[in-house]
Structure 1
């Protein structure tokens, strides 16, 4: 199994990009999905000037880390959110990534109910066209009040009909938001997955508890075998969101990431044997 192991920099929410780079280096990770989520984790920002972008790319290059994707979530059901997402597409193009992740509502506390997806289909059709002009893929994350499962997003992208609209599959979110098991849900949508947030889940389904990989209750060996069967080469973007109390220190984040990377490599070796 040769899927790239990647750091989702949201793992370092509350800490700097420099600290995320240090943690990736220490864990032997050479790829990153950078967070550019306004008001949450802003390791990149759509208002960065050319010098700031050059400095960011220089930091990554000096540490031999390649950007694969960008988390650019915004509330695309609003005009303001769509404008933000278009700004993030322009940023992503400058950063040289291949895909940009978004949800369908508020990044947090999404309580809007979408009963008729007709308008959303048209919204994504337009955003996918905007992304295509930048040579980018839009990846809809399993996230929020309406699209918490891969099955629901697969149905949505089928209605949109854009080749550059795919799934960002977050394994922990499928439990928390979708009330489903990712080991089962992934089977029928793995071929539509362009990126995967490798996130473990502990505690009750609606409990915010996303520990290091291997410390929760998700069967990642089964997840990996499903990816292999589907021929899915999506990067495995490790995301650790801890509990509401947070990690406590950046050293704790470094430790959780290192253990997660080690566990992920062991799982890859196991399913490849």
Structure 2
């Protein structure tokens, strides 16, 4: 599983993609999930020029970093969200990665309530078709007020005829779903194709996601569950700190390095 590790560039929210690639590479990571969330962490976006996108490809090559996914959070209940997701599939093709990651609502302050999954299914139909044509896997994240647990997303995936898979976020299921990521993970591991690996401190509803190994989660137990479930997808490390954010780029780099070293000792 050590070879499945990647860094989620959203860990470097507020800093440049070059900061993220350089810091993660120096920590030991060789794979990256590129955050593509407009007005939040826009390290890559579909509307960037061809020259900008080529520079990003050159940057990844310079540091020996492989893109394994596009984190393209889009509101799937809105026309503009579907349009963004469709364009993000092209980004995944450009960066030669298999996975496109989204939630069902906005990246933050998700307020839409999905009362009829048939509406969601109809909205996603062109996305399903484009993913099929381009050989991409659409994963929906445990996130927000509609599908905050792995079990709820497993039911959604089955209702959508398995056109989507689960992106399981080990911290989000606590923060949004008020469940620990052990029994929930066991119930849905067969439908998971992408993991956001987050640690958690404080109360369940407290935004506090420190370096991996600095929080309360039992990662040995988590890795046992996914290994027994024969999980083969990416394990994308994401550190989101507290609402105040990190004090400096050095703090982010130190947290990334500490996370890598902890996971290396656990997995390698």
TM-score strictly above 0.5: yes
The whole-number CA distance in structure 2 between the counterparts of 1:190 and 1:124 is: 23
The whole-number CA distance in structure 1 between the counterparts of 2:218 and 2:120 is: 33
Count of aligned positions: 268
The whole-number CA distance in structure 2 between the counterparts of 1:258 and 1:137 is: 29
Conserved 8 A contact 1:211-1:240: yes
1:170 aligns to 2:185 (yes or no): no
Which runs of 5 or more structure 2 residues have no equivalent in the other structure?
none
- The RMSD of aligned alpha carbons is 1.2
SS state of the match for residue 140, structure 1? Answer: strand
- Name the structure 1 match of 2:109: 109
Using the size of structure 1 for normalisation, the TM-score is: 0.95
Conserved 8 A contact 2:2-2:263: no
- Name the structure 1 match of 2:202: 203
Conserved 8 A contact 2:35-2:70: yes
- Name the structure 2 match of 1:32: 32
1:129 aligns to 2:129 (yes or no): yes
The whole-number CA distance in structure 2 between the counterparts of 1:178 and 1:268 is: 27
Superposition deviation, residue 190 in structure 1: 1.0
Report 1:89-108 matches (<5 A): 89-108=89-108
SS state of the match for residue 100, structure 2? Answer: strand
Conserved 8 A contact 1:168-1:196: yes
- Name the structure 1 match of 2:213: 214
Superposition deviation, residue 124 in structure 1: 3.0
- Name the structure 1 match of 2:266: 267
Report 1:8-23 matches (<5 A): 8-23=8-23
Conserved 8 A contact 2:195-2:234: yes
- Name the structure 1 match of 2:77: 77
The whole-number CA distance in structure 2 between the counterparts of 1:116 and 1:266 is: 45
The whole-number CA distance in structure 2 between the counterparts of 1:266 and 1:126 is: 43
Report 1:132-143 matches (<5 A): 132-143=132-143
Distance 1:146 1:183, change over 3 A: same
Post-superposition Cα deviations, 1:50-86, rounded to whole Å, max 9, x if no partner, equal 2211111111111110000010011110111111111
The whole-number CA distance in structure 1 between the counterparts of 2:183 and 2:77 is: 29
- Name the structure 1 match of 2:229: 230
Post-superposition Cα deviations, 1:120-175, rounded to whole Å, max 9, x if no partner, equal 13333432222222211101000011101111111101011145x21111000000
1:52 aligns to 2:65 (yes or no): no
Superposition deviation, residue 258 in structure 1: 0.3
Conserved 8 A contact 2:33-2:71: yes
